C-alpha cells in the first residue's frame, strides 16, 4: 500500500514540475512586484502583513493580486501584465501605505514598505478579512508576548512553561521532567534554535529551557503531520526563532529573582536608517542558583531535593542589507549541574556556533536561504560505584533552501547534510555494560509545492532521507490541506511518513532518569521482530491528522483535532540484558544478549481548545485525550508518559495600560502515569565469577521482583500556579517590572516517584513562592 503511495506522490511531483514549467513560460511576458515590509521604528521585519495590488481595467481600479508577507517580511505578487499599479500595504495596529509601481515585461518592480505603529485610533474601525497563508495543521505559534501571559515560575516566563499548555503536550514532572508530544518520546522531537538543532533544550529542574524569553521572537510547535522541510524526527518539531538586537539604541536588561538572574546587552553596530543596511548584536546570559537559594528561602522543601544549577549564554550578530537579504551569526554555551548529596550527580554542557543567510537577487525570481552549524553535547553521571555513565554527540549541519513564487502558488525545495559522532557508555539495571562509538552521515532533500486557491490551500511535499553510514534510505511523502468553506471556518487534514536515526540513551520504561544521552542507529539489533526480518536500522512512523477550527465570535475561537501516529519500528535500550554478546554466550536467547530491542507502537487521540481574547482578558483552555501503546515483541504495554486525560486552563487579565498590572492563573489536571508495581524482594547475585561464584559465602544485593510492566497507575495530578506583576514605564524608554508568583498555590502533594528500596514516596515541588524584578534601560 505504502509503496503505491510513494509512487503516486512521485508522479504527483512530476506533474507539479510540469505545471510549474508551464507557469514559468507563461510568466516570461509578465512582471512581478515584490519587496519587504519593515517597522519604521526599528527595522523589524513584519510578517502576516497584507499587500494588495490594484490596476486600471477599462478606467476602473480593480484588484489584481493580494498576498501576505512571510516570516522574513517578504512578499511577491507575480504574473502581472505590464502597466502601472497601486500597491497597498496594511496590518492591524499599523498605518496603511500606498505606493505606485510600474511593471515591465520580464522584470521585478521592488517596493519596500516601512509601517508606523498606530498608538491610538479614535472613531475609526478597520475590518480586515484575509485567508490563512498556510495549510498547516497541528501547529501552534507562540511569541514572547504570549509567554508573559502565563504565571511566571521563579518570577520569569519561559518557553517550557507555555509548551505544557498546548494541545497534545504532556509534561512528566517538575524535576527532571521532559515533554512528550502526542505519543512521542523526547528524542523523537526535533528542537531548533534559529535552524540549529539543540539536543537537550530543557534543564534538569524541568521549569526552565535554554531559550532566553527576552530574545525569543516566536516558536512554531508542529505536534504531528509536519511538512517536508523538516526531517530526522518521527514525532514533532519545535522551531524557535530569536529576534535581532536593538538597531537604534544600546540597551541593557537586568533580572533577579529567588531562582535565577539574567543580563541582556544589545545595540546597533550600524544604526537603522530606512532604505539602508544595518547591523546589531545581542548577548544574553542567565543562570540559576537554586541549590544555594533553596537553603535560604525554601528550607521547608528539603533543600537536598533542589540541587539544581544551570547557566545559558547566547550571542547573536545580525546584518541586514538594503536589498532585503541578511546574514546572522550565533553562538551558545549551555550548562546544567545536579548534585544529590551522597548519591549521584549529573553534569551536561552544550556548545555550538552557527549562521544563517538570505539572498534576494534583484531580478532573479528565486530566493535563497541557507544555514550551517557545528555543535557538541555531552552528559556525565557520577555515582558511588565510579562506573562510567556518559554520552557525547557532536557534529555539523548545513543546508540551503530555494523558494519561487508564482502568481498564486509557491514552490520550495532544499537540501541538507548532517554529520555527527556519538560516544556512549552506560550500565543497565542488570549491571551489564552497553557502549557505542559511531559516526553517521545523512544527506537529505525535499520539495514542496503550495497550491493556493480561493478556499483551498494545499501542500504537496516529498522528502528523501539517505543515511549514508547505515546504507538505508527513506522516501517520505507529506501532505497538508486546509479548506475554508465559510469565513471563520476551516477544515484541515494532514498525513506523512517520517524516519530518524537518533535514539535516546534511556529507556522509554524509565520513570525518572536525568541521564539524557544519545545513540545513532545501532548495528546490534535483533535479526527479526514479531516474526518478520529486520531490514533496516531506522526508526519510522506514519502520521494522520484531521480537524476543524471555527470562530464562534469576534473574541472566541474553538479548535478540534484528532490524530494517529503509527510507529512502525522503534529502537530502545534493552533493560533485560543479562549476558555479554560474545562467543561464550551464543547459546543464550538473543533478547538476553543484545544491547537494544525493537518495538512498535501507536498513539492516537484528540483535543479541543478554546481561546477568548477581549479588552485585557486572555483565556485559554484545552483538553486532550490520548492513548499510547508499545509492543516489544512479547507484550503490549503503555509507556510511562501515557497520560490518558490532560487539561489546562489559563486566565490572564491586564489593566492600567500606562503602568500595566497583570494577574495570571494556570491550572493543570492530568490522569496518573503508568508505573510498574513491586511484587517482592530477593537477594540478587550477579555471578561475575561465573560458576566459581560462591553465593553461600557472600552477600548479594537487594533484588526487586516486578509485576507486569506499567500495569499500575499513579494518582491523578493537579496544580494551580499564580502570579501578579506590575510594570512602571519610566522616562527614556526605561522600565521596571516586579513579579510575585506562587507555584503549586494550594500545596498539592503530587507524586514524583516511589523509592522502592527505602519504601518512601517522593513528591514533586511543594508550594514555591518567588519574588523577582527586571530593570531595562
The tens digit of pLDDT for each residue in 612-649 reads 999 889 999 999 999 999 998 888 999 988 999 999 99
| Helical segments of 139-237, H only | 144-147, 159-163
Is 127's pLDDT higher than 60?
no
Residue 65: per-residue pLDDT: 85
Is 8's pLDDT higher than 90?
no
Q: List the single range of 38-42, 60-64, 218-222 with lowest mean pLDDT.
A: 60-64
Beta strands 661-670 and 717-729: pairing type? antiparallel
Q: What is the pLDDT of residues 227-242, one digit of tens each?
A: 999 999 999 999 999 9
Q: What is the pLDDT of residues 273-321, one digit of tens each?
A: 998 999 999 999 999 988 888 888 888 877 777 788 899 999 999 999 9
Is 711's pLDDT higher than 50?
yes
For residues 329 and 313, is the Cβ–Cβ distance under 8 A?
Answer: no
Share of the chain above pLDDT 90, in %: 46
When pLDDT is averaged across residues 501-505 and rounded to a whole number, the result is 82
> Which residues, in sequence order, are CB contacts of 510 under 8 Å at separation 6+?
640
Residue 402: per-residue pLDDT: 94
C-alpha span between 359 and 324 (Å, rounded) = 8
What are residue 377's DSSP bridge partners? Answer: 350, 393
pLDDT band, very low/low/confident/very high, at 14 (cuts 50, 70, 90): low
Is 573's pLDDT higher than 50?
yes
Is 450's pLDDT higher than 60?
yes
Q: List the single range of 22-36, 143-157, 186-200, 236-250 with lowest mean pLDDT.
A: 22-36
Is 386's pLDDT higher than 70?
no
pLDDT band, very low/low/confident/very high, at 270 (cuts 50, 70, 90): very high
For residues 313 and 284, is the Cβ–Cβ distance under 8 A?
Answer: yes
Q: Which of 666-700 are b and which e, b meaning 16 or more Cβ less than 10 Å from the residue's Cβ?
A: bbbebbbbbbbeeeeeeeeeeeeeeeeeeeeeeee
Q: What is the pLDDT of residues 87-123, one digit of tens each?
A: 999 898 899 999 999 998 888 889 999 999 886 544 3
Most confident of the ranges 206-215, 388-397, 610-619: 610-619
When pLDDT is averaged across residues 376-392 and rounded to a whole number, the result is 80
pLDDT band, very low/low/confident/very high, at 183 (cuts 50, 70, 90): very high
Q: List the single range of 51-60, 256-265, 598-607 with lowest mean pLDDT.
A: 51-60
Beta strands 366-383 and 472-486: pairing type? unpaired
Is 151's pLDDT higher than 80?
yes
Q: List the single range of 70-79, 281-290, 427-436, 488-497 with lowest mean pLDDT.
A: 427-436
> Which residues, in sequence order, are CB contacts of 163 under 8 Å at separation 6+?
142, 169, 171, 179, 221, 238
Beta strands 645-655 and 661-670: pairing type? antiparallel
Is 7's pLDDT higher than 60?
no
Residue 428: per-residue pLDDT: 64
Q: What are phi and psi of 465, to 5 degrees?
A: -115, 125
Residue 4: per-residue pLDDT: 47
What are residue 240's DSSP bridge partners? Answer: 193, 219
Residue predicted with more confidence, 341 or 687:
341
CB neighbours of residue 489 within 10 Å: 12
Let me know the angle formed at the C-alpha of 277 by 275 and 282, rounded to the nearest 5 degrees: 125
C-alpha span between 88 and 79 (Å, rounded) = 18
Give the DSSP letter string of 689-741.
TGGG--TTSS--EEEEEE-STT-EEPPPEEEEEEEEEEEEE-GGG-EEEEEEE
Is 125's pLDDT higher than 50?
no
Among 204, 199, 202, 194, which residue's Cα sits nearest to residue 162?
202
Place of cell 510540469: 18
> Which residues, in sequence order, are CB contacts of 240 under 8 Å at separation 6+?
159, 191, 192, 193, 194, 211, 216, 218, 219
Is 469's pLDDT higher than 70?
yes
C-alpha span between 681 and 707 (Å, rounded) = 11
When pLDDT is averaged across residues 724-750 and rounded to a whole number, the result is 91
Mean pLDDT of the chain: 86
Amino acid at each position: 500500500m505504502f509503496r503505491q503511495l510513494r509512487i503516486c506522490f512521485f508522479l504527483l511531483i512530476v506533474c507539479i514540475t510540469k505545471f510549474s514549467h508551464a507557469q514559468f513560460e507563461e510568466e516570461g511576458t509578465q512582471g512581478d512586484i515584490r519587496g519587504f515590509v519593515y517597522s519604521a521604528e526599528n527595522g523589524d521585519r513584519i510578517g502576516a502583513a497584507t499587500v494588495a495590488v490594484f490596476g486600471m481595467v477599462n478606467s476602473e481600479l480593480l484588484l489584481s493580486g493580494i498576498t501576505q508577507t512571510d516570516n522574513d517580511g517578504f512578499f511577491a505578487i507575480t504574473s502581472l501584465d505590464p502597466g502601472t499599479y497601486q500597491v497597498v500595504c496594511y496590518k492591524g495596529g499599523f498605518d496603511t501605505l500606498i505606493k505606485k509601481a510600474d511593471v515591465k515585461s520580464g522584470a521585478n518592480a521592488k517596493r519596500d514598505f516601512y509601517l508606523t505603529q498606530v498608538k491610538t485610533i479614535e472613531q475609526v474601525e478597520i475590518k480586515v478579512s484575509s485567508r490563512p497563508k498556510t495549510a498547516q495543521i497541528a501547529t501552534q505559534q507562540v511569541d514572547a508576548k504570549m509567554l508573559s501571559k502565563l504565571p511566571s515560575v521563579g518570577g520569569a516566563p519561559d518557553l517550557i512553561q507555555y509548551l505544557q499548555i498546548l494541545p497534545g503536550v504532556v509534561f512528566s514532572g517538575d524535576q527532571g521532567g521532559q515533554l512528550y508530544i502526542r505519543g512521542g518520546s523526547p528524542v523523537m522531537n526535533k528542537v531548533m534554535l534559529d535552524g540549529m538543532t539543540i539536543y537537550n533544550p530543557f534543564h534538569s529542574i524541568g521549569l526552565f529551557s535554554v531559550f532566553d524569553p527576552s530574545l525569543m521572537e516566536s516558536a512554531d510547535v508542529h505536534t504531528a503531520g509536519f511538512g517536508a522541510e523538516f526531517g530526522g524526527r518521527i514525532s514533532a518539531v519545535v522551531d524557535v526563532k530569536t529576534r535581532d538586537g536593538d538597531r537604534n539604541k544600546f540597551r541593557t536588561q537586568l533580572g533577579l529573582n529567588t531562582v535565577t538572574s539574567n543580563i541582556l546587552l544589545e545595540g546597533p553596530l550600524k544604526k537603522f536608517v530606512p532604505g539602508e543596511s544595518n547591523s546589531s548584536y545581542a548577548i544574553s546570559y542567565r543562570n540559576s542558583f537554586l541549590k544555594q537559594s533553596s537553603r535560604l528561602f525554601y528550607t521547608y522543601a528539603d533543600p537536598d531535593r533542589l540541587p539544581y544549577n544551570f547557566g545559558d549564554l547566547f550571542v547573536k550578530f545580525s546584518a541586514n542589507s538594503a536589498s532585503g537579504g541578511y546574514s546572522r551569526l550565533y553562538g551558545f554555551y549551555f550548562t546544567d549541574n545536579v548534585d544529590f548529596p551522597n548519591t549521584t550527580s549529573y553534569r551536561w554542557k552544550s556548545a555550538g556556533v552557527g549562521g544563517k543567510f538570505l539572498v534576494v537577487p534583484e531580478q532573479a525570481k528565486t530566493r535563497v536561504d541557507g544555514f550551517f552549524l557545528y555543535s557538541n553535547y555531552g552528559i556525565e553521571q557520577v555515582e558511588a560505584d565510579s562506573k562510567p555513565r556518559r554520552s557525547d554527540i557532536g557534529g555539523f549541519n548545513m543546508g540551503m533552501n530555494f523558494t519561487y513564487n508564482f502568481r498564486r502558488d509557491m514552490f520550495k525545495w532544499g537540501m541538507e547534510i548532517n554529520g555527527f559522532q556519538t560516544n556512549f557508555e552506560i550500565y543497565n539495571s542488570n549491571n551489564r555494560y552497553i557502549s557505542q562509538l559511531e559516526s553517521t552521515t545523512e544527506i537529505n532533500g525535499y520539495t514542496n509545492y503550495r497550491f493556493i486557491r480561493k478556499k483551498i490551500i494545499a501542500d504537496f511535499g516529498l522528502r528523501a532521507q539517505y543515511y549514508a553510514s547505515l546504507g538505508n534510505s527513506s522516501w517520505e511523502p507529506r501532505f497538508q490541506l486546509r479548506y475554508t468553506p465559510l469565513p471563520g471556518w476551516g477544515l484541515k487534514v494532514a498525513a506523512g511518513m517520517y524516519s530518524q536515526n537518533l535514539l535516546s540513551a534511556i529507556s522509554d520504561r524509565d520513570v525518572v532518569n536525568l541521564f539524557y544521552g544519545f545513540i545513532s542507529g545501532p548495528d546490534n539489533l535483533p535479526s527479526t521482530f514479531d516474526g518478520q526480518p529486520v531490514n533496516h536500522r531506522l526508526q519510522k512512523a506514519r502520521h494522520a491528522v484531521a480537524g476543524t477550527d471555527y470562530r464562534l465570535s469576534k473574541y472566541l475561537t474553538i479548535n478540534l483535532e484528532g490524530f494517529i501516529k503509527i510507529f512502525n519500528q522503534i529502537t530502545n535500550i534493552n533493560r533485560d540484558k543479562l549476558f555479554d554478546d560474545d562467543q561464550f554466550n551464543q547459546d543464550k536467547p538473543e533478547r538476553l544478549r543484545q544491547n537494544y530491542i525493537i518495538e512498535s507502537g501507536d498513539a492516537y487521540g484528540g483535543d479541543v481548545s478554546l481561546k477568548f481574547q477581549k479588552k485585557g482578558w486572555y483565556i485559554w483552555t484545552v483538553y486532550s485525550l490520548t492513548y499510547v501503546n508499545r509492543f516489544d515483541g512479547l507484550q503490549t504495554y503503555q509507556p510511562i508518559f501515557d497520560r490518558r486525560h490532560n487539561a489546562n486552563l489559563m486566565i490572564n487579565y491586564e489593566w492600567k495600560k500606562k503602568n500595566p498590572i497583570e494577574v495570571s492563573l494556570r491550572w493543570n489536571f492530568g490522569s496518573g502515569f503508568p508505573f510498574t508495581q513491586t511484587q517482592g524482594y530477593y537477594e540478587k547475585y550477579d555471578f561475575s565469577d561465573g560458576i566459581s561464584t560462591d553465593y553461600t559465602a557472600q552477600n548479594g544485593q537487594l533484588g526487586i521482583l516486578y509485576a507486569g510492566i506499567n500495569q499500575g497507575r499513579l494518582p491523578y495530578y493537579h496544580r494551580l500556579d499564580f502570579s501578579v506583576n506590575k510594570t512602571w514605564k519610566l522616562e527614556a524608554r526605561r522600565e521596571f517590572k516586579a513579579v510575585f508568583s506562587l507555584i503549586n498555590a494550594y500545596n498539592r502533594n503530587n507524586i514524583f516517584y516511589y523509592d522502592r528500596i527505602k519504601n518512601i514516596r517522593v513528591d514533586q515541588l511543594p508550594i514555591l513562592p518567588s519574588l523577582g524584578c527586571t530593570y531595562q534601560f
